[in-house]
Copies of this chain bind each other. A is one copy, B any other.
Amino acid sequence: MTRQELNQEINRKRSCLCIGLDAAPVSFEMNKKIIDETANYAVAFKPNVAFYEADGWKGWKILEKTMDYLRSTYPGHFLIADAKRGDIGNTAKEYARTFFERMDFDAITLSPYMGYDSIEPFLEYTQKWVIILALTSNPSATDFQLFSGAENKPLYRHVIDTANTWADNNKIMYVAGATRPHLLQEVRKAAPDRFLLVPGVGAQGGAIEEVMQYGKTQDGDLLINVSRSVIYSDKGFAQAAGLLADSMSRFFS
């Protein structure tokens, strides 16, 4: 899926909603129910691989089955493997094969710590995306991501400036947490025409309105991930997702 195609979906649905498929313990039936009830409001789905690995090979089977179901039933949705991988070249190739060929995800989240050659094997796939951790939503993100270099440039900014040179805005997007809105603005400045994947809304404390205001561009270029406040909502999945999409829709002209 190209940036233009994904933005078309976002503008058509007036929603940047990405649903995290992270209900523990994982179950295909639960995933199917979440997907079926939220697909109208969401433009993307994002299983966090950790929750599947926690059930060993059975968890992997559930992940593969979930992907098959999504691919065959909802072909227009953008599918993200939240894997946060990062390893040397020959290992990165194996991960790329797993997530892009074996499971046909559109995108994978990657940690930048090991640099370009840990990312490059993923960039070789056409129509696939790499989502690089820039500024994450967790409290300890400040430990290293705000480590300050020359002219007070923090590490996360150096990551963005560097990775911007690796591939264009049809290939690389960034993770930018919702929990530090002023820094989300800084990320947007550093990547003015790139997609941002924003976690941290809801259970982690970020506010949708701020994320829409600081994160969305005129074209769109924004995915807001929500996991726990949908899958553990009292309201049911459909209503919870519908309300979230509603609060996003007023930011579309």
Contact = CB atoms under 8 A, between A and B. Distances in A.
Interface of A: 22, 24, 48, 50-51, 53-54, 56-61, 64, 84-89, 91-92, 94-95, 97-98, 102-103, 111-118, 133, 136-145, 147-150, 155, 158-159, 162, 204
A87 B50 contact: yes
A89 B117 CA distance: 27
Contacts of A117: 138-140
Contacts of A136: 88, 113-114
Query: How many copies make up the complex?
Result: 2
A159 B144 contact: yes
Which 6 A/B pairs are nearest by Cβ-Cβ distance?
Answer: A115-B140, A115-B143, A57-B60, A117-B140, A116-B140, A57-B57
A193 B187 CA distance: 39
A88 B147 contact: no
Contact of A148 (B59, B103, B137, B150): B150
Contacts of A103: 56
A88 B138 contact: yes
A131 to B, nearest CB: 13
Nearest to A142: B115
A148 to B, nearest CB: 6
A57 B26 CA distance: 15
A59 to B, nearest CB: 8
